[in-house]
Structure 1
Amino acid sequence: MLTLAILVPLLGAFALLFLPNASEQTTRRIAIGVAAVPLVLLLIVWARFDTGAGAAAFQQVATVPWIPSLGVAWRVGIDGIALAISAMSAVLFLAAIAWPAETKQRARAYYAWFLFLEAVSLGVFMALDLLLFYVFFDLSLVGMYFLIGRWGHDDAPRAALKFFVYTFAGSLAILLAILGLSLGSGSLTFDMRELIARQPLAGMDVRSALVLLGFVFGFGIKTPLFPLHTWLPPAHVNAPGPVSAILAGVLLKMGVYGLIRIPFSMMSATFARYALPLGILAVISILWGSLVALGQQDLKRRIAYTSVNHMGYAVLGVAAAGAVAGSDAGRLLALTGAVVEMVAHGLITGALFLITAVFWQRAREYDMDAYGGLAQVAPRLTAAATVAAFASLGLPGLAGFVAEFQIFAGTFASYPWLAAIGLLGILITAALFLQMLQRLFFGAMPARWADFADLRVRELVPLGALLLLVVAIGVYPHELLAVIDSATATLVRSR
């Protein structure tokens, strides 16, 4: 079933390229139908998922030999962490594809690249083979490069090039680290389950530190962590809104997910030794991202920098979970919070970037000073932006609060002073989102926006679905937490 979730959008992408003389509307409907298949399959997997204490760490495992001489195979499987992030990604891809985008008379190629990117993104989260993981990880750069470069605006080609070169450099560091980890396991293997069990490089201080550095550098670029984040703002500003939603909501999660799946799980002793420096870097990212976001006049740049801030929360949770200090209960809380943060951030920031698409499609303008008073003519847009903004700043009753509360409660058990400093980021985030709402929707409205169109049905449905999930997780997080806890408890107990 997991293999189908990857292959269906991949085959759909190739089918769209050879679809003769299809209208843009027909192409969009086909793409929506194909994108719905992985979500349906993952919901079935979710319904069958065993969250019991005696459940296998990875479920729905499928293995097909690929390169037997290297021990490489098509290995896919899922635990609670991968299932939660994969399901969120499938929802977000469906919403982004359903969004009425400007395809520049190249609808088939636009939706084909989206489906291709969905296939390889799900592959990253479901792969149980390190080399297969790396292949999917690299291919995600290709899909995003073309979506930004061909359908972006202003300086999109240059932004796409910077994104690709910067993140590809990180992926090369990951490749070297993968080779070092696999070769250090005794007999060569790329099976993630074997590597988790063997814990290679334990006791090899210099070698294990260099391998960990390679992973942190590569995944830190993807996350992005300060100071490896400079590719992010131009990529977001010049990308179409739905593409930015996927970039922030799905691709950034590959960085934090990679940290959990590989060095955290396979190098637990080395990770624990360097957890504090990673936590300090995470707190710097939290504060830097929020402060720089507060200073942005450009709506999209402001939201882009909040991703640096929010992914800092997730990495802080991972660092606290990997620390030697603290209790098992605190580490479990921190790691669960980090995963919930990835899910919540994907839905919330995905919604925020779809909202920015409304501004660009209506007015071709991201400068917040150009707007004001839009609540008078666009009440539905105002309500959607308000819910997304309050969720992002961590208001109780919404998904962001569930994640951040667990992260900081868990971090207090390991690094109380880091948690205390990191809390300042929430205060700054609240200020920047409240200021954004004030400047866009309240106060005096310039006369030229008197005919600013409110959300249409085709925009309201995908955006409303994302925000409904944000509210549902905030009000009743039990179903999500049960799935995630089944995996995080196993990882914490094994340390």
Structure 2
Amino acid sequence: MNSLTLLMLLPIIGSIAVAATPKTKEVLSKQVALATTVIVAGATIAMAMNFQRDNVDLQFVEKYSWIPTFGINFAVGIDGLALVLILMSTILAPIVVLSGWNEAHGGRWSVKTFYILILVLETMMIGVFAATDVFLFYVIFEAMLIPVYFLIGGYGTGERSAAAVKFLIYSLFGGLLMLASIIALYVMSGAQGGHTFDLQALSQLEMSSTTQNFLFLGFFIAFAIKAPLWPLHTWLPDAAASATPGTSVLLLGVLDKVGTFGMIRYCLTLFPEASKTFTPLIMVLAVISIVYGAILAIGQKDLKRLIAFTSISHFGFITMGIFAMTSQGHSGATLYMFNHGFSTAALFIVGGWMIARRGSSTIADFGGLQRVTPVMAWSFFLAGMSSLALPGLSSFVSEFLVLVGTFTRYPVHAVIATFGIVLAALYILIPVQKALHGPTTPGNEGLSDLNIREKVAIAPVMAIIIALGFYPSPLLNVINPASAHVIAQMGFTDPAPTNGDK
């Protein structure tokens, strides 16, 4: 399949099919949703096979007039960056459905509604990475809030309503700032040749440095909230703690990547000079996120909050790689987005199974699981090792590239960020020790290990984590040309290697 439009339509068709199933046939609704996500994943892989790796131009481009009065088009196309993120999204979707087979039970609405929301969200995940019309991107960017809001507020636990509202308020605030910048770009395009929302055309606009700085901030703040970057991160721990594990996978594994994707696709492309102006500040924020997120993760007693704070630290690495303005940093950041999606998915999925069996998310309640549930325990251990970037697992390669790419231009920032790796060992190894080893905590003796469905669900995640740890070339061959193209467009070249013989 080479049509992005058709790829976006497939989950919508699947959601209609789920809606048509009888309300009492919950298993059938799940099966239809699973089949749909598997088909979409297969279609995305087929598209990736036809992608021209060395072509830095947008591929699979489609453009249809949508609102001609305002020059708005339904325009989509992908480069290596977008392809990798769409591939990640569509592979994670069937894993979320299969691993969370019983997540929707006990929610405010029916099981069928849960899977309709998941499929609608999948369409938007594809669309937000593929959009090349800025207005279309904004519409999808904001529309994504709706299914996520209902997934958290309708099927979550604890203070789910408050967490859903907090997520919505933060995201809407950022979206309004971005909308103001988009309107300004539209007005400026009319004064310079014709009103348009086309990304390529808008990137050619002439504007003063002050104007560019203000418009940059409108986009960047929206993306920093979504990412999330310190100090705009406070919605995330509450949302992750209240959402179901599957929703958390999509929230942290995919939706938060829209923020870092937007920094590359829109901030750097539309406002290159402003990006350079704000880089020193953003690099400081990224380093703070790395250290702050790691320190707070160490002190967490709740498993889901622990994973949320580790992600804040990881997104600091991604943001640092983006604004290091080196090809290695950019490639590492993009690869990090992909790898983080799967390592976080593994943590939330296995952690969700642990919580469901124990009836508690408190880390101290999981003592001695290695003796009682060895497969589940080893799965959580492997996911944790990937999260702390152990050599031989996927996250190591991306984190190494980010640090190397940053060091060549910002050595102090890279050295401080390296301290985050030490902290990562603490925030992973301490809970692993408490949850998996030591004497069996009373109440854990009768816990069941992973069943066949759960093993099938987690197996591809673990396979990807291990395979990309040893052989990341298939992804890097797609990512590297796109990253080099972005750096060249920004007017940067990689710093020349230093020679001590001077």
* Same fold, judged at TM 0.5 (above): yes
Contact between 2:56 and 2:80, CA under 8 Å: does it hold in 1? no
- What is the count of residue pairs matched by the alignment? 481
Letter in 1 for 2:135: L
Instruction: Determine which of 186, 207, 214 is the counterpart of 1:210.
Output: 214
Q: 1:453 aligned to 2:448?
A: yes
Alignment partner, residue 184 of structure 1: 188
In 2, are the aligned partners of 1:76 and 1:128 still within 8 Å (CA)?
Answer: yes
Q: Which of 460, 476, 499 is the matching residue for 1:465?
A: 460
- From 377, 380, 385, the equivalent of 1:382 is 377
1:61 matched to which residue of 2? 61
Residue number in structure 1 paired with 2:149: 145
Residue 184 of structure 1, CA deviation: 3.0
Structure 1 contact 372–440 (Cα < 8 Å) conserved: yes
Aligned to 2:493: none
Counterpart check, 1:171 vs 2:175: yes
Provide the C-alpha distance between the structure 2 equivalents of 1:201 and 1:347, rounded to a whole number of angstroms: 40
Residue deviations 1:36-93, cap 9 Å, x none?
22211211111111112xx251000011100112221111111000000110011111
Residue in 2 that maps onto 1:325: none
Give how far 1:188 is off. Answer: 2.1
Does the CA-based 8 Å contact 2:327-2:487 persist in structure 1? yes
Question: Is 1:440 equivalent to 2:441 in the alignment?
Answer: no
- Within 2, Cα distance between the matches of 1:467 and 1:173? 39
1:362 corresponds to which residue?
357
Indicate conservation of the 8 Å contact 1:337/1:402, yes or no: yes
User: Given the alignment, which residue of 296, 303, 315 partners 2:300?
Assistant: 296
Which residue does 1:9 correspond to in 2?
Answer: 11
- Between 278-287 and 7-16, report the one with greater CA deviation: 7-16
Confirm or deny: 8 A CA contact 1:127 1:133 kept in the other structure: yes
CA distance in 1, matches of 2:317, 2:102: 31
Letter matched to residue 23 of structure 1: K
Matched, 1:317 2:318: no
- Mapped to 2, the partners of 1:158 and 1:182 lie a distance apart of 36
Match of 2:105 in 1: 104
Query: CA offset at residue 494 of structure 1?
Result: 1.8
1:391-418 CA-partner distances (Å, limit 9, x unpaired): 1111111111111111010101111111
Does the 8 Å contact 1:347/1:470 carry over to 2?
yes
Aligned-partner Cα distance in 2 for 1:345–1:21: 36
Structure 2 residue aligned with 1:276, among 277, 280, 305? 280
Q: Is the 8 A contact 2:351 2:380 kept in 1?
A: no
Deviations 1:179-208 (A, max 9, x none): 223333423211112233x1x344x12211
- Which AA in structure 2 matches 1:360? I
- Check the 8 A contact 1:61/1:75 in 2, yes or no: yes
The question of 1:75 aligning with 2:70 is answered: no
Does the 8 Å CA contact 2:56/2:482 hold for their aligned counterparts?
no
C-alpha offsets along residues 113-137 of structure 1, whole Å, 9 cap, x if unaligned? 0001111111100111111111111
Cα 1:201–1:451 shift into 2, 3 Å: farther
Are residues 1:127 and 2:131 paired? yes
Please list the CA deviations of residues 100-159 of structure 1 after superposition, one character each: whole Å capped at 9, or x if unmatched. Answer: 233226211010000011111111001111111111111111011001111111211111
> What is the CA–CA distance in structure 2 between the aligned matches of 1:81 and 1:395, rounded to whole Å?
24
Aligned-residue Cα RMSD (Å) equals 1.2
Q: How far apart are 1:226 and its partner, in Å?
A: 0.7
Question: 2 CA distance for matches of 1:170 and 1:472?
Answer: 37
Opposite residue 94 of structure 1, the aligned amino acid is P
Kindly provide the amino acid, as one letter, of the partner of residue 70 in structure 2: L
Distance between the aligned counterparts of 1:212 and 1:97, measured in 2?
Answer: 37
Aligned residues of 1:351 and 1:463 also touching (Cα < 8 A): yes
> Normalized against structure 1, the TM-score is what?
0.95
Kindly indicate whether the alpha-carbon contact (under 8 Å) linking 1:4 and 1:38 is maintained by their aligned counterparts in 2.
Answer: no
| Stretch of structure 1 that moved more, 301-310 or 14-23 | 14-23
Structure 2 CA distance for aligned equivalents of residues 103 and 262 of structure 1? 36
Indicate if the aligned counterparts of 1:287 and 1:422 stay in contact, CA closer than 8 A: yes
Does structure 1 residue 48 correspond to structure 2 residue 50? yes
Which amino acid in structure 2 is aligned with residue 374 of structure 1?
L
Inter-partner Cα distance in structure 2 for 1:248 and 1:415: 27
Q: 1:24 maps to what in 2?
A: 26
Query: For residue 39 of structure 2, what is the aligned residue in structure 1?
Result: 37
- List structure 1 runs of 4+ shifted beyond 4 angstroms: none
Match of 2:92 in 1: 92
Following superposition, the deviation at residue 15 of structure 1 comes to 3.0
Kindly state the Cα deviation for residue 21 of structure 1 after the two structures are TM-superposed: 4.2
Matched, 1:416 2:411: yes
Find out whether 1:231 has 2:235 as its counterpart. yes
Equivalent in the alignment of 2:499: none
CA distance in 2, matches of 1:415, 1:170: 29
Any conservation in 2 of the 1:5–1:37 contact (CA below 8 Å)? no
Q: Offset of 1:160 from its aligned partner?
A: 0.8
Cα displacement string for residues 7-32 of structure 1 (whole angstroms, at most 9, x for unaligned residues): 11022223322322452211111101
SS in structure 2 of the partner of residue 77 of structure 1: strand
Matching residue of 1:324:
none
Q: Decide whether the 8 Å contact of 1:237 with 1:301 is kept in 2.
A: yes
Percent identity over paired residues = 35
- The answer to whether the Cα contact below 8 Å between 1:2 and 1:41 also exists between their aligned partners in 2 is no
Structure 2 contact 209–273 (Cα < 8 Å) conserved = no
State the Cα deviation string for residues 192-230 of structure 1 (Å, max 9, x = none): 12233x1x344x122111111111111110000111111
Quick one: distance in 1 between partners of 2:303 and 2:489? 44
In structure 2, what is the Cα distance between the partners aligned to 1:58 and 1:426?
Answer: 36
SS in 2 for 1:340: helix
SS of structure 1 residue aligned to 2:481: helix
- Equivalence map 1:322-341=2 (5 Å): 331-341=326-336
SS of alignment partner, residue 62 of structure 2: strand
SS in 2 for 1:414: coil
Matched, 1:161 2:156: no
Q: Which has the larger displacement, 173-182 or 373-382?
A: 173-182
Partner of 1:398: 393
Q: Which residue of 2 aligns with 1:326?
A: none
Q: State the alpha-carbon separation in 2 of the partners of residues 214 and 450 from structure 1.
A: 53
In structure 2, list runs of 5 or more residues that go unmatched: 491-502
Letter in 2 for 1:276: P
What SS is found at the alignment partner of 1:446?
coil
| Corresponding residue number in structure 2 for 1:305 | 309
Gap regions ≥5 residues in structure 1: 322-330
- Equivalent position SS for 1:75: strand
* C-alpha distance in 2 between matches for 1:472 and 1:271: 35
Whole-angstrom distance in 2 between the partners of 1:94 and 1:102: 14
